[in-house]
Chains A and B, each alone.
Chain A
Amino acid sequence: MLELFSCRNCVQNCGQSLNVGRGIGFCLQHNSVIEKPERTTCKYLQRKDLPRFVVEEAMLEHAAEFALFPALATLDTKEEVKRIYYSEKFSWEHDSYDPVLNAIAQYFKSKPAWAFIQSFSGGLDGRRSLTHAAIIRRYMNHCNTWVSSYRLTLGLIQEVDIDPLFDEQSLVIPPDMKPDEVRVQAHWDVIFCRLSGIQEYGWHAGLQDLMWASDKINGGLTEMNWALLKEEFGKIKKAWTAMIIGHAKHQEMFFSLDADQRDDEDELQSSQ
C-alpha cells in the first residue's frame, strides 16, 4: 500500500489523511502546495498513522529511495515535482478556496508557532482535529525535544476522547465506497494520529508509559470499538496529564522561562 508513503500520510501535510481532505494539500516542509497528495512524497516523510519510532526502518529506506530529490517527487514514477507557492488570490479566482488549507498555509507568517498550533485545538470538526494532532507532531519532530511540546501534548491529551466529526465534503470517497464506510476510516485516521502523537511525546520525554500508551488501552482499540475506547481514553487521560506535568516539574521545565524561550528558538533553528 504505497499510499502510506504519500503526502496524504505525512504530518507535514497536516490537513489531509488517506481518507480526509479532498483535492490539493499543503506541505510545511517544502512550503508548497501539493497538487496530487496521494501520488507525491519526499525524503522527509513522517508518517501519520503510526509513531515514528515503530516505522523507522521503512522511513529510512524511503528517505534513501528519494535522496536525490531536493524536494517533492512523484511516488510511483519518481519524477521531480516543482514547488508551488500558495496563493489565496489564486484559490479565490479558481474557485478552489479551502479554509483549512488556507489556515495551514499561513503557518510561517504566524509567530509564535506554538500559538498558531494551539489555535487548531478545541474543535469537533474531524479535519481540524486531524490538523491539530498532525501539526503538533510535526512541530515536536522539528524541535526534536519534549521541552517545547509538553504544553501542546497536554492540549492534545485533553481532546483524545472527543469525537472527530466529518461532513461528507471533508471525506475522500473512492467510487466504490460509501460515505459512511469512509467516515469510519477517517475517524480512525484521527484517533491513530492523536495516539501516535502522545506516543512520540513519550519517546522524546523518555516516558515509557506514554511511549507505549497503546499497551494501556484494552478492548476499545483491539476491537476498533470507539464507544469503548472513548470511555477508556476518558479514564486514562488524567493519568497521562499528571505524568506529563510531573515529569516537566521534575525536569524544572514546567512553565519555566527557559522552556518558553526554547519553544520558538527550536522551531526557528530547525526550519533554517
Chain B
Amino acid sequence: MSGAPAVTPYYRRDQSDGISPPDLSKTCSYAEHIVKARGKRTQYTSVSTNLTKIRIFGDSNYILISQKTAEDGHGLVEHAELIQTLRQEAQQGEKEVRLHALGALRYATMRCEGLVLWRFNIDGVARKDVITWAQGRVQVYFAKV
C-alpha cells in the first residue's frame, strides 16, 4: 500500500450530501470489503479510476484528494496492487479466503476499484458513535466534480 499520493485520479459516486462514512471499527480483508461479506460498511472506502464503471446509488461524483489523504497518513490501495493481492489470494487461499477473493477479483476488475484505508485514531470513540464520528471526518478528503 502506497503512502505517496496517487498519480492516477480516483473517483467515487455517492449521495449529494456527502460521502457515506466507513465503519472504522470493522476491520476486514480487501476481499471481504469488496464482496460485502462483513456488511455494507467497513474500515475502507471504495474508489475507482473510472467513474463510468461505478454502479452505485448516488447522484454526485467526487474525486479523492489523494495528496491530503496521503499527508494525513491514510492509505490508498491502488487498483493494480489490489488486483494483484486478490489474484494471489484467489490462487493460494482456501475456503472462504479463496471464495471471497474470487468474487472480489471479479467486482474490483469490473469497477476499476481501489480502496482508501482510513487510519483515524478512534480510541475513546464509543462503538455506537464510530460511524457518525467518521462521517464528519472523511468529507475533507473528497471534492465534488
Q: CB within 8 Å of B: which residues of A? A: 1-5, 18, 39, 49-51, 54-55, 57-58, 61-62, 75-76, 174, 176-177, 185, 188, 192, 199, 212, 214-215, 221-222, 224
**Residues from chain B with Cβ under 8 Å of A177 in the complex:** 52
**Residues from chain A with Cβ under 8 Å of B52 in the complex:** 176-177
Known A-B contacts A57-B38, A57-B39, A222-B91; A50 and B57 likewise in contact (beta carbons under 8 Å):
no
The interface-forming segment of B3-11, B103-111, B118-126 is: B103-111
- Indicate if the CB atoms of A224 and B37 lie closer than 8 Å: no
Chain B minimum-CB-distance residue to A189? B106
Top 6 closest pairs, chain A to chain B, by CB = A176-B52, A61-B39, A222-B90, A76-B57, A58-B39, A55-B37
Q: Which of A50, A58, A224 contacts B105 (CB 8 A)?
A: A224
B95 to chain A, nearest CB (A): 5
Docked complex: B34-67 residues within 8 A CB-CB of A:
34-40, 46, 52-53, 55-57
Distance, CA A57 to CA B33, complexed state (A): 12
- Indicate if the CB atoms of A212 and B95 lie closer than 8 Å: yes
**Residues from chain B with Cβ under 8 Å of A54 in the complex:** 37, 96, 99-100
Q: Which of B36, B46, B96, B111 contacts A58 (CB 8 A)?
A: B36
B1-43 vs A: 1/0 string, CB under 8 Å?
0000000000000000000000000000000001111111000
- Indicate if the CB atoms of B36 and A4 lie closer than 8 Å: yes
Distance, CA A174 to CA B111, complexed state (A): 13
Q: CB within 8 Å of A: which residues of B? A: 34-40, 46, 52-53, 55-57, 87, 90-91, 94-96, 98-100, 102-103, 105-107, 109-111
A163 to chain B, nearest CB (A): 18
Known A-B contacts A54-B96, A176-B52, A222-B90; A1 and B38 likewise in contact (beta carbons under 8 Å):
no
Distance, CA A158 to CA B6, complexed state (A): 47
- Indicate if the CB atoms of A212 and B94 lie closer than 8 Å: yes
**Residues from chain A with Cβ under 8 Å of B107 in the complex:** 1
Q: Find the residue from B35, B38, B52 having the highest chain A CB count within 10 A.
A: B35
Chain B minimum-CB-distance residue to A76? B57
Of the A-B pairs whose beta carbons lie under 8 Å apart in the complex, a sample of 28, sorted by A's number, is: A1-B34, A1-B55, A1-B111, A3-B55, A4-B36, A5-B36, A39-B57, A50-B35, A51-B99, A54-B37, A54-B100, A55-B37, A57-B39, A58-B36, A58-B38, A58-B39, A61-B39, A62-B40, A174-B55, A176-B52, A176-B53, A177-B52, A212-B94, A214-B98, A214-B99, A214-B102, A215-B95, A222-B90
- Indicate if the CB atoms of A2 and B39 lie closer than 8 Å: no
Chain B minimum-CB-distance residue to A1? B56
**Residues from chain A with Cβ under 8 Å of B40 in the complex:** 2, 5, 58, 61-62
